[in-house]
Amino acid sequence: MQELYNKLKDFDLNYAIKLEETDRQFIALKSLIEKNENKREVLALVIANSIICYQLSGTWENYWEEFSSYFSDKKISYENVVFLLWEFIKQSKNNKRFVDTKVKRLEKVKFALDWFQWREEYFYQNMTELRDLLAKTMKQKITDKTIVFAVKMFGYVARNIFTFVAYPKEIFIPIDSRLTNLFEKYKWDYSDINKFYMDLSEKMDVTLLHLDWIVWINYEELMK
């Protein structure tokens, strides 16, 4: 891990934030917030969409841009979030797989959104509680990719509504193939991938969800 740290040690939180704001997913969500008048309801919509954001038939960036464009002029309410997303994925070009399973996940996440309603800013200030609520509702681990990804995307859109809040250190990084490859290359005597990235995060003083984009954008160079 020390070798990877040495390559990343000059990158800090401010660098991570600037990088995140160049992410096409961040730009898509910023555009959605600017165009849709139902801003708090968009927060719920983004959480629910994140829960079904897996096994895509297109790139993640293309999917979130498609999502943003589709919902930019839609009238969104807590009562119709699940229905609207169901209508969306039925015709989505980038989320065609396992639609029936994803609809069931949307029906389940609605119970979390019932707790989330009118407490949007509270959950932004307390994102670990949002993670725990989603994990409990979906009957998943707090480290599962869709759970931590939902918190990440919620943070992306919420910072365009409220004062910026950094991701808490307790929330894990969403493990994907790139992070797994880096772990295999640099793990040394580590056997636990989450422990590896937790220690790297602490050493860099950059919380895991912010570290995520630093690693992502520098991946090709880090794998040389």
Over residues 215-224, the mean pLDDT reads: 94
CA angle, 211 as apex, 133 and 102 as ends, to 5°? 40
User: What are phi and psi for residue 33, nearest 5 degrees?
Assistant: -65, -40
Whole-model pTM: value is: 0.94
In the set 176, 187, 199, 203, the catalytic residue is 176
User: 4-57: per-residue pLDDT in tens?
Assistant: 999 999 999 999 999 999 999 999 999 999 999 999 999 999 999 999 999 999
Looking at 39, 74, 145, 203, which residue is catalytic?
A: 145
Q: In this predicted model, what pLDDT tens digit does every residue of 102-143 receive, in sequence order?
A: 999 999 999 999 999 999 999 999 999 999 999 999 999 999
Q: Domains of the chain (ranges plus CATH)?
A: 2-19+171-222 (no CATH), 21-158 (1.10.340.30)
Contact 179, 223 (CB under 8 A): no
CA 104 – CA 89 distance, rounded (Å): 13
Known active-site residue 145: yes
> Taking Cα atoms as reference points, which of 31, 100, 103 lies closest to residue 70?
31
Confidence of residue 206 (pLDDT cuts 50, 70, 90): very high
Average pLDDT, the chain: 96
2 burial class (0-12, 13-18, 19+ CB within 10 angstroms)? exposed
Catalytic residue status for 73: no
Tell me what pLDDT residue 131 has: 98
Q: Can you tell me the mean pLDDT for 66-92? A: 96
Question: What confidence score (pLDDT) does residue 214 get?
Answer: 95
User: What does the pLDDT look like over 164-189, one tens digit per residue?
Assistant: 999 999 999 999 999 999 999 999 99
At residue 57, φ and ψ (nearest 5 deg) are -95, 0
pLDDT at 62: 98
Residue 1 is predicted with a pLDDT of 87
Shortest CA distance to 138 belongs to which of 38, 35, 52?
Answer: 52
- Hey, is 115 helix, strand or coil? helix
